[in-house]
Amino acid sequence: MDDAGRQGYEVSYDADGAVSVTEAPAGAPEMMSVAALKSPAEFRIPELPAADVPAAEVQATALEGGCSAGAETMREAARKAGASDVLDQYAKDYPTGPHDKPQSMCPAFGSLRVGLRMKRVATILSGSACCVYGLSFVSHFYGARRSVGYVPFNSETLVTGKLFEDIREAVHDMADPAKLDAIIVTNLCVPTASGVPLRLLPPQIDGVRVVGIDVPGFGIPTHAEAKDVLAGAMLKYAREEIKAGPVQRPASGKSDRPTVALLGEMFPADPMMIGAMLAPMGLAAGPVVPTREWRELYAALDCGAVAAIHPFYTASIREFEAAGRPIVGSAPVGHDGTAEWLANIGAAFGIGAGQIAAAQNAFLPAIKGALAAAPIKGTVTLSGYEGSELLVARLLIESGADVPYVGTACPKTPWSAADVDWLRSKGVTVKYRASLEDDCAAMEGIKPDLAIGTTPVVQKAKELGIPGLYFTNLISARPLMGHAGAGSLAEVINAAISNKDRMKDMKAFFEGVGHGDTAGVWEGSPNLHPRFRELNAKKLEKAARARAAEEMI
């Protein structure tokens, strides 16, 4: 069928979560929206907006190379397009490590997932169609039951500034105060590099807030930090609302005790456990940031102190500090971590030593008992990109495990100092901004009884006959705080370690399969050609000798 005869469809979810499939507008562009947004069928060419960079340069950099143009090329284009302030702030908030691009999920997945989890919040992506497709697919794979908005573009709309007009039109179309509290608009790599100015969007439309953020792969090292980009932007917006006058009361009401805001995503039971540990000091657990609805942002900013459970939320911490809120690092993990954390929280609120001791005495014996009842025996290497790797390592060590190496893809910040100092006092090598190569090298050198890490680390471990566990799904999806977390990891860790002999047997059985000449899919025995390999090696050797002779001449 030719292009003219194609029929497109748009798939979305209604408010009840039911799937809705509708025919696309006739004559719509080839890159259709993922959600039921209005896609302009005709493109008019407005006057070129004032800019420091010629439109031709933007087109050549952002479109001809696209996402594959390279991080440095995209970064240079973004600066020419007027995004230097954004990139400079990202470089300060999220300093890069040995690798200049993400080695995990696309960063925008982090901010997208935060927005999709919030009630009465819509999301719109602006980026290459392939990127939006992948992000939409993964978000729904992880359980999102809400459409992802997409404003398509081509070379004409990007270069002339029509893309910004299309985004503004889409925001106006979606801004229904009966259904939404806010709309999150995210620039991906190409629009960021082209300088699409989301800051010029109206801050609100009929009472619906509009928050625009840039989340380029060449500026945000991990998807975990992209969560902070959006959380920080929303906190800033909410803080300005509070300064301007009265705001809506959170649906959960206002606590009658001073609260501690909890920074960083965590297992649902952990905030309740933290609240129980705070109660003897006359405190309560506040909202978890990123929040699940807009009004919780007000309650979070109304806290007495902030617990930086995940210490890399730099932009969010900046907003809390601007609101005059003290920041407390680490978390109530294990015996030592809980004792120190409760003391630091008490000090932040000016609570007397007697009340702090009462809280410690109420929970520390139970934590010590839970750790003793669920020991872990074995050597474990640990790595990940969630930001809680240091906390998990503390818990493993207090459970009896030997943890010689911990790698985290997140950066070093002042709020992880207590954790890294404690770990290094136990002889642990801690690597911030650890690369995949760092994690694999540590695992291969140590040869642990168990490797906990990202998917490629676990894959490499199993190829070597070492049991492996995926950090995100199997470790961070468990309670970590207080006595509930003290014994939560032992069962899955010990079960995995007990499979070491089985992994060795499997490695021996499949030795050589899928590597070298046996790689690929074969219906029969692999066709081996050692003679060809020998001839090719001789050709390469001959060419090397010829080059050496030329250099001598």
Q: How many CA atoms lie within 13 A of 246 on its CB side?
A: 2
Q: Is residue 16 part of a domain?
A: no
Q: Is residue 57 part of a domain?
A: yes
Structure tokens at 143: 């359980």
Q: Is residue 59 part of a domain?
A: yes
The pLDDT-based confidence of 52 (bands split at 50, 70, 90) is: very low
Cβ atoms of 345 and 283 closer than 8 Å:
yes
Residue 372 confidence (pLDDT) above 60: yes
The mean per-residue pLDDT over the stretch 322-330 comes to 96
Q: Which residues contact 151 (CB under 8 A, 6 or more apart)?
A: 33, 37, 39, 124, 125, 126, 163, 166, 167, 170
User: How many beta carbons lie within 10 A of that of residue 84, not counting itself?
Assistant: 12
Residue 403 confidence (pLDDT) above 60: yes
If one compares 369 and 487, the residue with the highest pLDDT of the two is 369
* CA atoms of 175 and 181, how far apart (whole Å): 9
Cβ atoms of 168 and 51 closer than 8 Å:
no
Number of domains, the chain:
3
If one compares 507 and 408, the residue with the highest pLDDT of the two is 408
If one compares 377 and 477, the residue with the highest pLDDT of the two is 377
Residues 281 and 323 reside in one and the same domain: yes
pLDDT at 204: 95
Residues 380 and 505 reside in one and the same domain: yes
Q: Which residues contact 349 (CB under 8 A, 6 or more apart)?
A: 258, 281, 283, 304, 305
Residues 163 and 303 reside in one and the same domain: no
How many whole angstroms from its chain centre is CA 401? 28
Residues 71 and 187 reside in one and the same domain: yes
Domain span at 293: 259-367
SS percent in the chain: helix, strand, coil, step 5: 50, 15, 40
Q: Which of 216, 213, 221 is nearest to 93 (CA)?
A: 221
The pLDDT-based confidence of 50 (bands split at 50, 70, 90) is: very low
Put the strands of the sheet holding 259-263 in their side by side order: 284-289, 259-263, 305-307, 327-328
Q: Is residue 18 part of a domain?
A: no
Domain final residue, candidates 167, 191, 221: 221
Residue 47 confidence (pLDDT) above 50: no
Q: What is the pLDDT of residues 387-397, one digit of tens each?
A: 899 999 999 99
Supply the CATH number for residue 426's domain: 3.40.50.1980
Q: What is the pLDDT of residues 22-46, one digit of tens each?
A: 554 444 433 333 333 333 333 333 3
Residue 5 confidence (pLDDT) above 50: no
Q: What is the pLDDT of residues 64-98, one digit of tens each?
A: 555 566 666 777 777 767 677 777 777 777 777 76
pLDDT at 511: 78
What values do phi and psi take at 441, rounded to 5?
-65, -40
Residues 69 and 216 reside in one and the same domain: yes
Residues 285 and 215 reside in one and the same domain: no
Q: What SS3 class is residue 107?
A: coil
What values do phi and psi take at 240, rounded to 5?
-65, -35
* CA atoms of 79 and 66, how far apart (whole Å): 16
Instruction: Name residue 25's amino acid.
Output: P
pLDDT at 66: 57
Q: Is residue 522 part of a domain?
A: no
Q: Which of 251, 254, 252, 271 is nearest to 263 (CA)?
A: 271
Cβ atoms of 127 and 118 closer than 8 Å:
no
Instruction: Name residue 58's amino acid.
Output: V
Q: Which of 104, 109, 101, 96 is nearest to 70 (CA)?
A: 101
The mean per-residue pLDDT over the stretch 211-235 comes to 93
Residue with tokens 């959960």: 252
Residues 166 and 308 reside in one and the same domain: no
pLDDT at 235: 98
Residues 57 and 90 reside in one and the same domain: yes
Residues 389 and 455 reside in one and the same domain: yes
Q: Is residue 23 part of a domain?
A: no
Q: Which residues contact 280 (CB under 8 A, 6 or more apart)?
A: 355, 358, 359, 362
pLDDT at 550: 85
- Adjacent-strand bridge partners of 405: 381, 429
What values do phi and psi take at 546, rounded to 5?
-65, -40
Cβ atoms of 133 and 307 closer than 8 Å:
no
Alpha-carbon distances, residue 465 vs 83, 355, 477, 502 (angstroms): 48, 51, 25, 9
Cβ atoms of 433 and 221 closer than 8 Å:
yes
Residues 363 and 473 reside in one and the same domain: no
DSSP 281: G
If one compares 15 and 500, the residue with the highest pLDDT of the two is 500
Residues 360 and 385 reside in one and the same domain: no
* Average confidence score pLDDT of the chain: 85
pLDDT at 22: 52
Q: Is residue 7 part of a domain?
A: no
Domain final residue, candidates 305, 339, 367: 367
Q: Is residue 523 part of a domain?
A: no
| Full-model pTM | 0.80
The pLDDT-based confidence of 99 (bands split at 50, 70, 90) is: low
pLDDT at 30: 37
The mean per-residue pLDDT over the stretch 167-191 comes to 95
Q: Which of 489, 453, 284, 460 is nearest to 374 (CA)?
A: 489
Domain final residue, candidates 165, 193, 221: 221
Residues 72 and 192 reside in one and the same domain: yes
